[in-house]
Amino acid sequence: MLRFLSFRARILSTLLILILGVQGAGLGAVYFATARSARTQINEGLSGSARVFDALMDRREVELAQAASLVSGDFAFKTAYSLRHVPTMATALKNLRDRIHADVAVMVGLDRIPFAGDPDIADPTAARAFIHLADLAAATRNGTASSIEFVQGRPLQLVAVPLMAPVPVAWILLGFKISDELAGELKELTGAEVTFGRGAGSGWNVIASTLPPPLRSDLAIGLAKFAGTLDATFDMALLGQQYVTLTTGLATVGEPLEVVLQRRLSDALAPYEGLRVFLLGLTVVGLIISVVGASIIARQVTHPVNRLAGAVKKVAAGDYTVRAGVRRKDELGDLATAFNEMTRGLAERDRVQDLLGKVVSPEVAARMLAGGGIELGGEERTVTVLFTDIRGFTRMSETLPPAELVAVLNGYLAALSNVIEANGGVVDKFIGDAIMAIFGAPLEQPDHATRAVRTALAMHKALTDLNKGLAERGRPKLWFGIGVNSSPVVAGNMGSGRRMNYTVIGDGVNVASRVEKLTRIYEVPAIVTAATRMSAKGFVMRELDRVRVRGRDEVLHIYEPLGEEGALSDETLARLDTWHVALKQYRSRNWTGADHALEVLQRGEPSSRLYALFRERIETLRLAPPGAAWDGTFTPEN
């Protein structure tokens, strides 16, 4: 399966992008040109529609004026007017209205009061419209006028023609309603959608239109956003369809009447649809041909690359025996040959590193193979040194056969080494049944003391698990002591030019070894010095004593790590507080108070050697009280 990020996919995608870019640019150019041409045609058509509308309104005005002039010049009609015979005039006006298919026919006297004609002449808005038009006609030289007037919210195109006797004595008003029929007539002439309407407050009201009702509502909402945009085209979306729109105004009393002319953009683009479909099909055919051709070319390049990539994956997984089976006399063949030489070298280095990692720590081995740290010498580092030793190992070696003894010892050393390495420590050396470990070298670790204390606690748990297995096989349990100290040392490669070992030397190493031996006296799993206690964070420590070890005049404060903070029970913490009280009383020579507290602790933990040890000391000091210089420091015999 072709992956998107493969070399083959990149070749294909590059060609496809180029082809799509060219074809897309061509399609875009065609679409842009056709859309521009369509818009130009629509704009010209809408402008022509506006001119047709003006001509249609002028023609209707002429028709109204001619029809009114025929009536005003009729002798019988003048006679009826002179006799003030309103029924006769009303009948004549009705016949005139029906003959020319007008909507309004009214007589207005010099007093501007309608007195004959349509039944709605008594309507206040109609009366105001007729009076206004009569006023306009009276102000002209020939007594004729025309206007658009609103009656009950509906626009009327009205014409006023005077009744001469021989001067104007009244006016005949004829008019057509601006309605859906007028809009439809204009649509038949122009092909554009026609809508009449006007603004009302913040909205826009449709008065007459060729649009269906759902589109009229959408149009009213849309035009409210383009209020005041007259004699200019703009785009408007009606129910998802794009319409090019032109608005123009007609002068009326009050707010002007607006005429909205629209054409659907998709209708104008329809003639170009065939060209776009042809170009799109041509693009698809080109893409198919390109994909096939590019696939053939890409396979010739990517097949050997894929074989090399598969071999590289096996090398990354640790298989250095793999070989790239690419036999070509070109650059890819040279690459395969170089790859095979590389895997041979990696296999040899892996074998050397595996052997070296078994005699030194993996960190030291990696540093040596990387080209660093292979010269004699050292540097000063602050590290934490951990010593551990099996108690009673000599006695055990006397009771177990050699082979079984070695098996038990190897299992013990393997279990504890795993714990050390899991916490970032380095096993420096095995000294018989003892282990020396370093934290903070050769790799720097700011939290080396914390790692060492955590390791000591984990080693005690690992020994507990190991002893369960030994007990199941009927073998004696193992016990050990751990000593931990943090101090400056010299770390580096020690030995000769032919044989060397990465280790640390210094007084701090000796202190860690001496502290480990103190675990036999206090019978606790691990002891750390004050320097380690100050650097290690997050542990609960029990102060054990002040001691002066062999070879040092300086007094050491030693502590037993009990566990991480928050992991100890309330009962354990309460015993710890009692112990510290007892220790304080002991150092202040309050033998009775100290002994009482120790007795309470001993009853709770009868197996603890620590409490019995200090009670024995108290008995000795009671019999032979110490001098004034005594501060509670204990000096072991060896």
Give per-residue pLDDT as tens, 591-605: 999 999 999 999 999
* 383 vs 244, more confident: 383
Could you count the other beta carbons within 10 Å of the beta carbon of residue 377?
9
> What does the block give as tokens for 552?
């040092």
Give the tens place of pLDDT for each residue, 4-17. 456 666 666 776 67
- Separation CA 187–CA 244 (nearest Å): 15
* 23 vs 191, more confident: 191
pLDDT at 331: 66
Are residues 635 and 548 in contact, defined by beta-carbon separation less than 8 angstroms? yes
Domain ranges of the chain: 375-564, 569-638
- Separation CA 447–CA 384 (nearest Å): 10
> What does the block give as tokens for 451?
């790692």
Are residues 438 and 426 in contact, defined by beta-carbon separation less than 8 angstroms? yes
| Average pLDDT value for residue range 63-78 | 80
- Separation CA 594–CA 583 (nearest Å): 7
Place of tokens 């080693």: 459
- Separation CA 583–CA 146 (nearest Å): 121
Strand segments, DSSP code E, in 298-442 are 377-391, 426-431, 434-439
Answer positive or negative: Cα dihedral of 62, 63, 68, 73.
positive
Inform me whether the pLDDT recorded for 195 exceeds 70. yes
> What does the block give as tokens for 479?
């016990």
Q: Give CA separation, 380 vs 441, 493, 506, 536, in Å.
A: 10, 12, 10, 20
* 463 vs 249, more confident: 463
- Separation CA 124–CA 464 (nearest Å): 111
Give the percent of the chain with pLDDT over 90.
27
Which residues are CB-neighbours of 179 under 8 A, at least 6 positions away? 154, 208
Are residues 568 and 540 in contact, defined by beta-carbon separation less than 8 angstroms? yes
Residues β-bridged to residue 236: 243
Place of tokens 């004696």: 476
pLDDT at 273: 67
Q: Give CA separation, 241 vs 180, 235, 244, 266, 422, in Å.
A: 22, 10, 10, 8, 70
pLDDT at 358: 45
pLDDT at 614: 94
Q: What is the CA radius of gyration of the chain?
A: 56
Could you count the other beta carbons within 10 Å of the beta carbon of residue 511?
24
Residues β-bridged to residue 591: none
The band of 484, judged by pLDDT with boundaries at 50, 70 and 90, is: very high
Strand ranges across the sheet with 104-109? 114-117, 104-109, 168-177, 154-164, 145-151
Lowest mean pLDDT among 28-37, 347-356, 417-426, 563-572: 347-356
Q: What is the dihedral of CA 411, 413, 414, 417, to 10 degrees?
A: 160
Average pLDDT, the chain: 80
Q: What is the residue type of 147?
A: S
Q: Is the pTM of this model over 0.75?
A: no
Give the tens place of pLDDT for each residue, 580-591. 999 999 999 999
pLDDT at 374: 47
| Average pLDDT value for residue range 537-560 | 91
Strand segments, DSSP code E, in 251-376 are 257-264
- In three-state secondary structure terms, 396 is helix
Inform me whether the pLDDT recorded for 352 exceeds 60. no
> What does the block give as tokens for 419?
């714990």
Q: What is the residue type of 196?
A: F
- Separation CA 532–CA 522 (nearest Å): 19
Q: What is the residue type of 405?
A: L
CATH topology of domain 375-564: Alpha-Beta Plaits (3.30.70)
Residue 518's H or E segment, with its range, is: helix 507-522
Place of tokens 């292979």: 374
pLDDT at 355: 42
| Average pLDDT value for residue range 179-202 | 79
Lowest mean pLDDT among 60-69, 114-123, 192-201, 554-563: 114-123
pLDDT at 220: 76
261: closest CA among 191, 177, 331, 365?
191
- Return the ∠ at Cα 208 (arms to 202 and 211), rounded to 5°: 95
pLDDT at 1: 44
Which residues are CB-neighbours of 486 under 8 A, at least 6 positions away? 382, 383, 384, 385, 448, 449, 452, 508, 529, 531, 532, 535
| Average pLDDT value for residue range 324-341 | 67
| Average pLDDT value for residue range 289-305 | 68
Residues β-bridged to residue 429: 436
* 193 vs 415, more confident: 415
Could you count the other beta carbons within 10 Å of the beta carbon of residue 604?
12
| Average pLDDT value for residue range 165-184 | 83
| Average pLDDT value for residue range 516-533 | 94
Are residues 248 and 239 in contact, defined by beta-carbon separation less than 8 angstroms? no
CB neighbour class for 369 (10 Å; exposed up to 12, middle 13-18, buried from 19): middle
Inform me whether the pLDDT recorded for 265 exceeds 90. no
| Average pLDDT value for residue range 453-470 | 93
Which residues are CB-neighbours of 190 under 8 A, at least 6 positions away? 45, 48, 49, 52, 53, 261
- Return the ∠ at Cα 534 (arms to 530 and 540), rounded to 5°: 90
Lowest mean pLDDT among 130-144, 244-258, 441-455: 244-258
pLDDT at 359: 43
Q: Give CA separation, 34 vs 24, 26, 47, 190, 269, in Å.
A: 15, 12, 20, 22, 7
The band of 171, judged by pLDDT with boundaries at 50, 70 and 90, is: confident
Inform me whether the pLDDT recorded for 356 exceeds 50. no
Place of tokens 């035009």: 223
